Structure 1
Amino acid sequence: MSSSFLGASAQSLFKVNHGPYLQEVTRDGATIVFTTSQKAFSWIELKEHGAVETEAVKHFSSKDGLKEAWNTFNAVRVEDLKPGTSYDYRVVSKEMRSFEPYKVVFGDSLATEWHTFSTVNPKKQGGTFFITSDMHFDAVKLEKLLHAAAYQTCDAFFYVGDMTSYIAEPEAPFTSFIDTSVKLFASSIPFEVVRGNHETRGNLARTYSSYFPKRDGKIYGSYLLGDVMIVMLDSGEDKAENHWVYAGLTDYDAYRTEQAEWLKKLVKTEAYKKAKYRIVLSHFPMVMGQEWKDEHAWYGWEDAIRKFLPVLNKAKVDLMVSGHTHRFFFHERNADGNAFPVLEQGADSAVRLELHDGKIWFKVVDVDGKVLLEMNIS
């Protein structure tokens, strides 16, 4: 990512140091996230693709009548856009060297290069998606998997949990996977994140969702990409609430119940019913093979299955992709109470999922590009 300085000295260190990256791109809006190296006042300039620079409109993040300022983390929502339309945007920022009640001193200013993205086209049919999980801080492995799955031809990207091992430093999500995503695609194509159980750990775990802002404030949700419905579930922690490791600070039983009630309503909506393809993403697979039941007692995982699986089994799900187990394994329909196929995509592999002409095809690849499984499940 490059930034051009407007009146900046050669010695200035003021820059956009993470991002910009796209989140929650819909048919009529998008959120652009970025950080600056020093506290600043920042905004987005946006125009339709190909329009002259003078037609760009400024978009600010504001709350209670005040524009966000004197901050380093920024999430700017732009709305009232046209469906299926390409837009150009750039970040503009003014360093703030002091912010007194009646005197503000600005420093250097910068503007990034222009980036292009497209809003969701409601008439789009199918798509090609990249899915992985369980990178556990390994950005190098993530980059290898993106290349192995030919990320350049993917329409959307999904990370299904445990991209980190815990959140104890503000930089952790950036260095683990966000920066790599920005380097390759995320300034122009969004990625969406499903939280894993490891991202609930660490003294900064409660900040995790702020890196991926949503208008409804929820981590879980659904996304309609043309005729593809993506359902993203947050399965929480894998042990019981009273397990010593949580120190009495978790409340996932109630959280999973909340999601189950939301899921019951979602599958009754016209948007869900009319979707041609229905893909569910969850860090915990909604299948627990006998080998896990014999060796482990995973209360949280079992609770997720108890609450989510009965709803999903009646919802005409085409495929679930999950992580957590660190193994690559494919569960056929009805293997263990599941009415839909479940793919555990593994910690050293990624999925390239293609939905076209009513057919569902996927390929699982490892870091060396070796194909572990190639299957048509339509």
Structure 2
Amino acid sequence: MAPRPDGVEAIWAVSRTSLGRVESETADGRRQMHACDPHGFTPQGDAILRVRVAGFAPGAAARLRPITTAADDGETVTGAWKPFRALDPAAAVTRFAVWNDTHRHDDTIRQLHRVTPVEDFLVWNGDTCNNWDDAAVLIPTLLHPGGCDISAGRPVCLLWGNHDVRGPQAFRMPGLVATPEGRPFYAFRSGPVAVICLHTGEDKPDDHPSFHGRAAFDALRKEQAAWLAEVIRRPEMRTAPYRVVFCHLPLRWTDEGPQDYAGDGYDRFSAGSRALWHDLLVAWRTQVVVSGHTHRSTWIPPTADWPYAQLVGGGPELERASWIEVTADGAALRLCQRNLAGEILHDLNFSPLPPG
């Protein structure tokens, strides 16, 4: 998970308390062992192991394998090699894929995994689950959904959806996943595309009784606004010819009327997020925001008032699911959204932004 220009974070499940290491081998045959956590320990755990793999040059090709050693008797299991390529901000071309709203529909996940090609990375754009009511489903849902290794050939960039923050066990999710900087919002550059990933929080106010006091997303949205003001000034972000934002709840929708939160109402788009982020996204010259949440494949073109477009993915059922392939080179940024039958739902092209 969480690919970076210098590496990635490896996470895998274990059945008993164990120590974890990751061995890497680059294309020139150089091997290295990665086995130190931020506090100087060999990575260890009784349910998962996580190892930060670093030291690569941008765009470097390598293969990685996990090495697990039981803490009690020293039994060691060496996993299979997996290919990996570090992000390359200077690459001429990038290709990546986007999923959303899988909601533990294993049949859909298996089909998505089957049709999605090997890419630079996979954006899993929120709502991996329904609600986190049972801690036992966290690991299978996040680390091998549908019984698949969805990170094979394409490291995962995870975003939080509103269902990912629901339920009495939701607080455990951050310990089982990784992001580049350890927060649920982050930014990076892959070739000519600058990517900003944001956390839109819940689809009802924080004080809604169904959250039982667990929601504090107003503060998180404000923190992201301050962070966003700094991020869009970074050289690699302000010089990118293509600029894409990912967030689970859309920032625009076809019907933006008020909702009856006391009844069954919920937000189809995140008005609170948009109020804080809109001017910054316009200043950055965002071209498109890619979201999920509504379970309705939808394209909303840019307008004078809303200069960024909005693309929304489908739902968790086989007949409603969709995936997006993003490709970019010097000529164009293309977002092609398909259903599981391979039919094109939306085929969108953006020209490179002029410098400035």
TM-score normalised to structure 2 length: 0.88
Please say if residues 160 and 193 of structure 1, whose CA atoms lie closer than 8 Å, have aligned partners that are also in contact. Answer: yes
Q: Which runs of 5 or more residues in structure 2 are unaligned?
A: 316-320, 352-356
**RMSD over aligned Cα atoms:** 2.4
Unaligned runs of 5+ in 1: 1-22, 98-105
Q: CA deviation at 1:32?
A: 1.1
User: C-alpha displacement at 1:220, in angstroms?
Assistant: 0.5
Give, in angstroms, the shift of residue 177 of structure 1. Answer: 5.5
SS in 2 for 1:248: coil
CA distance in 2, matches of 1:225, 1:112: 28
Q: How does 1:13-92 map to 2 (within 5 A)?
A: 23-49=1-27, 51=29, 56-69=31-44, 71-92=46-67
Q: Judging changes above 3 Å, is the alpha-carbon distance between structure 1 residues 215 and 368 closer, same or farther for their aligned structure 2 residues?
A: closer
Q: Deviations over 1:166-189 (max 9, x none)?
A: 123345344335414884551442
Deviations 1:243-296 (A, max 9, x none): 111122221111100001111111122111111211100111111333644775
CA distance in 2, matches of 1:122, 1:376: 21
Q: Does 1:316 align with 2:316?
A: no
Distance 1:299 1:343 in 2: 13
Q: Does 1:338 align with 2:306?
A: yes
**Alignment partners' CA distance in 2, 1:33 and 1:95:** 16
2:348 pairs with 1:375 = yes
Q: Which has the larger radius of gyration?
A: 1
- Aligned-residue offset at 1:201: 0.6
CA displacement 1:170-215 (0-9 Å, x = unmatched): 4534433541488455144211111001111112211212222235
Structure 1 match to 2:273: 304
User: Match of 2:44, SS?
Assistant: coil
Deviations along 1:339-378, one digit per CA (max 9) or x if unpaired, are 1111011212121222223312222211222222223243
**Within-5 A mapping of 1:1-378:** 23-49=1-27, 51=29, 56-69=31-44, 71-97=46-72, 106-148=73-115, 151-176=116-141, 178-180=143-145, 183=148, 185-214=150-179, 216-290=181-255, 292-293=257-258, 296=265, 298=267, 301-334=270-303, 337-347=305-315, 348-378=321-351
Is the CA contact 2:113–2:148 (under 8 Å) kept in the aligned structure 1? Answer: no
Answer whether contact 1:27 1:82 (CA < 8 A) is retained: yes
Could you say if the C-alpha distance between residues 363 and 122 of structure 1 is closer, same or farther in structure 2, counting changes exceeding 3 Å?
closer
CA distance in 1, matches of 2:135, 2:154: 24
Instruction: Report deviation, 1:155.
Output: 2.3
> How far, CA to CA, are the matches of 1:136 and 1:71 in structure 2?
26
Q: What is the deviation of 1:328?
A: 1.0
- Tell me the secondary structure at the aligned position of residue 67 of structure 1: coil
Secondary structure of the residue aligned to 2:108 is helix
TM-score, normalised relative to structure 1: 0.83
Aligned residues between the structures:
342
CA contact (8 A) 1:145 1:365 kept: no
